[in-house]
């Protein structure tokens, strides 16, 4: 059974099995919390939040706050948290807005939001991501599966980070970061190569990694513009999952992908 200790839990909130809600936490009416979750002391879960199973919300975290978006007019909007998600101390996750056309902020399974990080309205964070402490994701930022956002990183509104990408600490994300990439830089953010260590840890073969490197060598080092480089990759590389992920991401980018670091002569 759920355990409430000196906390406010609205009687209409839906609380799963074996949930522990620690002292001085606040759980609003339109909240659903799955099984085996722990809500730490002084955590706040506002209305229209759904939290999956086996999640942990640490002290001082705020989930479901109304967005800091001047287009928000008080409409019903949502936060959806997947399973096995951890939200550490004083992190904030805001609801979506109707004006975005989404109206929901999502954090998918097995993701870690570290202390003092901020996830703004209508952000979409995939599975197995890590958002490191003091990072801020502006509204409608998309972070794909397995991406890692380094500490003190700021993402511009509408930015996108591809799967398995790794962003260095203190980076300003002003353009889209393609899949499998490593990127860093205060201004501008730059392509630093591919995330070889991360890919190896996740079971990518040497052949897959070499293929990704070869694709990016054309995109960044062939003196072709992005459209021409993508056409060359499409024509010259056999069809494979990594090729399709990279090309589909680049073709869907509205802000354009990050540039490479210039090599010393």
Q: What are 59's two structure tokens?
A: 């002290």
Distance CA 117, CA 225 (A): 36
Selected catalytic residue, list 47, 69, 122, 142: 122
Distance CA 63, CA 87 (A): 9
Reply yes or no on whether 162 is catalytic. no
How big is the chain, counted in residues? 265
Distance CA 54, CA 84 (A): 5
Could you tell me which of 234, 231, 225 has the C-alpha nearest to residue 256?
Answer: 225
Reply yes or no on whether 174 is catalytic. no
- Given a contact cutoff of 8 angstroms between Cβ atoms, the answer to whether 86 and 115 are in contact is no
Alpha-helical regions (H) of the chain: 196-201, 206-221, 226-236, 241-252
Q: How far is CA 25 from CA 103, 113, 163, 221, in A?
A: 26, 19, 34, 53
- Given a contact cutoff of 8 angstroms between Cβ atoms, the answer to whether 37 and 53 are in contact is yes
Can you tell me whether residue 182 is helix, strand or coil? Answer: strand
| 172 sits in which H/E element | strand 172-173
Selected catalytic residue, list 139, 151, 162, 168: 139
Reply yes or no on whether 121 is catalytic. yes
Selected catalytic residue, list 42, 94, 118, 121: 121
Q: Is the four-CA dihedral 63, 65, 70, 76 of positive or negative sign?
A: positive
- Please list the active-site residues: 121-122, 139
């Amino acid at each position: 059974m759920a355990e409430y200790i000196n906390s406010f839990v609205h009687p209409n909130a839906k609380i799963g099995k074996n949930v522990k809600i620690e002292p001085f936490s606040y759980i609003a009416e339109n909240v659903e919390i799955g099984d085996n979750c722990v809500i730490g002391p002084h955590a706040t879960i506002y209305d229209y939040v759904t939290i999956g199973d086996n999640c942990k919300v640490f002290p001082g975290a705020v989930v479901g706050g109304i967005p800091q978006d001047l287009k928000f007019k008080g409409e019903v909007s949502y936060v959806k948290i997947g399973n096995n998600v951890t939200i550490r101390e004083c992190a904030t996750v805001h609801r979506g807005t109707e004006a975005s056309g989404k109206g929901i902020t999502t954090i998918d399974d097995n993701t870690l939001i570290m202390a003092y990080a901020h996830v703004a309205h209508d952000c979409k964070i995939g599975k197995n991501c890590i958002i490191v402490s003091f990072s801020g994701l502006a509204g409608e930022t998309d972070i794909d599966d397995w991406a890692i956002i380094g500490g003190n990183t700021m993402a511009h509104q509408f930015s996108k980070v591809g799967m398995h990408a790794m962003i260095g600490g203190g980076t300003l994300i002003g353009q889209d970061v393609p899949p499998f990439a490593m990127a860093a830089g205060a201004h501008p953010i730059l392509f630093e190569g591919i995330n070889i260590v991360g890919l190896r840890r996740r079971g990518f073969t040497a052949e897959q990694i070499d293929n990704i490197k070869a694709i990016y060598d054309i995109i960044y080092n062939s003196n072709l513009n992005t459209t021409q480089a993508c056409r060359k990759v499409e024509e010259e590389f056999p069809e494979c999952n990594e090729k399709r992920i990279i090309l589909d991401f680049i073709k869907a980018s509205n802000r354009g992908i990050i540039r490479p670091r210039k090599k010393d002569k």
